[in-house]
Amino acid sequence: MSTFSSLAQTIQPLDAAERFATLPPEYTPTKRLFIKTYGCQMNVYDSERMEEALVPLGFQATDMVDTADLIIVNTCHIRAKAEDKLFSELGRFRIVKNKRKDAGQSTIIIVAGCVGQALGADILKRAPYVDVVVGPQTYHTLPETVMRILWAQPNQPKISLGFPKMEKFDELPQERGLKGPQAFLSIQEGCNKFCKYCVVPYTRGPEYSRPLSDVLQEAKHLVDLGAKEITLLGQNVNAYHGLDAGGKETSLGRLIMALAECPGLTRLRYTTSHPRDVDDDLLCAHRDIKILMPFLHLPVQSGSNRVLARMNRQYTREFYLNIIEKFLQYNPKMAFSSDFIVGYPGESDDDFQDTCRLIDQVHFAQAFSFMYSPRPGTPAAMVKQLDEQIKSQRLQHLNGVLDGHRLAFNQTFQDQVIPVLVERADEDHGCMGRSEYMHSVHFTHPFCAVGDILNIQIQSSSHNSLKGVVV
Ligand code: SAH
Ligand code: SF4
Ligand code: F3S
């Protein structure tokens, strides 16, 4: 199995005018599209954009795979489990495709995303019923690809991979859809950090930032459609350095300050940040910008300097703790979440205890923890690995420590009145919204609307949510 496929063939996209001019006259917009998304928020954003790009071809989203004329699996390569899921899912879709074929209906299956980029042609070898593989930076070619398949054009290329700089955002239709009061907006792509365990630099390609005006325009469009909260996305979002109209680089902090001027936008978030790329502009934004939420996801991965160095994270625990301290100085309301990898090659018991001590120092409000998963082609996969049992014991212990802090954080909201953005308002008056710190908050209200911000007094808390009454 080849690791990061070099089989990069490019499907040349048509421009929008050509696309419509070439639609066959007998074509009627009645096709169904099923998209299954794995991985990070960037994949969620990409799936939304794929769906939007296929709407002009007459595709409409469905959540019933049996009715789908087109199935897209948007994949994640970050851990082995995520990749395994793809092939079990594809087996299921093959059965759907065969059943539909027996009923005289055709089904196109497309693998998109990071496994597509990493495995390329190997996917077609392992699952020959897959029609096309596209990577995370080339999915703007999908409308042309799908049209060619629908018209049964011969010699349709089956692979579209690689990293054509910026082309994706230039080619995608500017019209966006919106499914609720919250919207994602990718502002930065790729990564140049090359942490030794991670596939992202290989699957998403080199780091680049979208120009400031593009981001502002898309944000305004989303707000016009009804978005109240926008989460800016990037695998290294705080390394953002998009150019302004004068060709000058803009930091994430400055971008946030510009977005704060957008009337109607009530909440801003950004993820995922790297500790090394925190700068004064970002700290000032957290001090000065009221719509910027006081909750930061800042993955530390490990609390041991020895492990951090082996991971090539480019900071020490002291550096990380100092950043946390600084954020709190600029905005005492700040709370933090993080990612942790346990059982990294060479991690000793003492290293692991350093991680637990760091958690006790920062009191993380939320966290995601993972057992190290060796990824093909990455340096950490090529050295001696720890015993699986040790990895799983450490994960269990770490989760216990993290759970304690999470519950303690949630309990600090008892009796407090907090602003909640309404996400769901059911007919029986049961409502759910989000706190500034991303808690699910449950309450009842006879007539509130999705997108409202309400003051809720918290009456009880659990690990996962808060419950309260409207005041
Ligand atoms: N860009 C972000 C994280 C991207 S991946 C950052 O630098 O922090 C999301 C998370 O997956 C990582 O923070 C890490 O905790 C986890 N992860 C990445 N590669 C992994 C691997 N090989 N095994 C286990 N977890 C991994
Ligand atoms: Fe992966 Fe490291 Fe880049 Fe994050 S910073 S995406 S963990 S290589
Ligand atoms: Fe997964 Fe790709 Fe995101 S590997 S975490 S979907 S960048």
Q: What is the pLDDT of residues 304-342, one digit of tens each?
A: 999 999 999 999 999 999 999 999 999 999 999 999 999
Mean pLDDT value of segment 394-415: 97
Indicate whether residue 73 lines ligand 3 (CB < 6 A): no
Residue 231 pLDDT greater than 90, yes or no: yes
Residue 175 pLDDT greater than 90, yes or no: no
Ligand 1 first shell, C-beta below 6 A:
78-79, 197-198, 200, 235-236, 272, 274, 299, 301, 339, 341, 370, 372-373, 375
Residue 177 pLDDT greater than 50, yes or no: yes
Give dist(CA 429, CA 449) in Å, integer.
Answer: 11
Measure 351 CA to ligand 3 centroid, in angstroms. Answer: 27
Indicate whether residue 78 lines ligand 3 (CB < 6 A): yes
The pair of three-digit structure tokens given for residue 38, joined into one six-digit string: 């794995």
pLDDT band per the 50, 70, 90 thresholds, residue 29: low
Give dist(CA 166, CA 179) in Å, integer.
Answer: 26
Q: Which ligand is nearest to the CA of 302?
A: 1
Residue 6 pLDDT greater than 60, yes or no: no
- Best CATH choice for the domain 170-348 from the list 3.40.50.300, 3.40.1130.10, 3.80.30.20, 3.40.50.620: 3.80.30.20
Q: Of all atoms in ligand 3, which is nearest to the CA of residue 38?
A: 6
Q: For residue range 339-386, what is the model confidence (pLDDT) as tens digits?
A: 999 999 999 999 999 999 999 999 999 999 999 999 999 999 999 999
Mean pLDDT value of segment 180-208: 95
Contact 259, 293 (CB under 8 A): no
Give dist(CA 221, CA 234) in Å, integer.
Answer: 19
Mean pLDDT of the chain: 91
Instruction: Give the closest residue (by CA) to ligand 1 atom 4.
Output: 235
In this predicted structure, what is the pLDDT of residue 13? 43
Q: For the chain, give the longest Cα–Cα distance.
A: 69
pLDDT band per the 50, 70, 90 thresholds, residue 165: low
Mean pLDDT value of segment 182-208: 96
Mean pLDDT value of segment 434-458: 95
Written in H, E and C, the secondary structure of the chain is CCCCCCCCCCCCCCCHHHHHHCCCCCCCCCEEEEEEECCCHHHHHHHHHHHHHHHHHCEEECCCHHHCCEEEEEECCCCHHHHHHHHHHHHHHHHHHHHHHHCCCCCEEEEEEHHHHHHCHHHHHHCCCCCEEECCCCHHHHHHHHHHHHCCCCCCCCEECCCCCCHHHHHCCCCCCCCCCEEEEECEECCCCCCCCCCHHHHCCCCEECCHHHHHHHHHHHHHCCCCEEEEECCCHHHCCCECCCCCECCHHHHHHHHCCCCCCCEEEEECCCHHHCCHHHHHHHHHCCCECCEEECCCECCCHHHHHHHCCCCCHHHHHHHHHHHHHHCCCCEEEEEEEECCCCCCHHHHHHHHHHHHHHCCCEEEEEECCCCCCCHHHHCCCCCHHHHHHHHHHHHHHHHHHHHHHHHCCCCCEEEEEEEEECCCCEEEEECCCCCEEEEECCCCCCCCEEEEEEEEECCCEEEEEEC
The pair of three-digit structure tokens given for residue 185, joined into one six-digit string: 């907006």
Domain boundaries, the chain: 3-160, 170-348, 417-470
Count of beta carbons in the 10 Å neighbourhood of residue 109: 20
More confident residue, 150 or 36: 36
Measure 102 CA to ligand 2 centroid, in angstroms. Answer: 45
Our mutation pick for probing the ligand 3 site, out of 73, 203, 207, 370, counting the most ligand atoms within 8 A of Cβ, is: 203
Mean pLDDT value of segment 411-419: 97
Q: For residue range 109-161, what is the model confidence (pLDDT) as tens digits?
A: 999 999 999 999 899 999 999 999 999 998 988 998 888 888 776 666 687 77
Q: For residue range 79-110, what is the model confidence (pLDDT) as tens digits?
A: 998 777 898 999 999 999 999 999 999 999 99
CATH topology of domain 417-470: OB fold (Dihydrolipoamide Acetyltransferase, E2P) (2.40.50)
Indicate whether residue 199 lines ligand 3 (CB < 6 A): yes
In this predicted structure, what is the pLDDT of residue 172? 84
Q: Give the CATH class of 3-160.
A: alpha beta
pTM metric for this prediction: 0.92
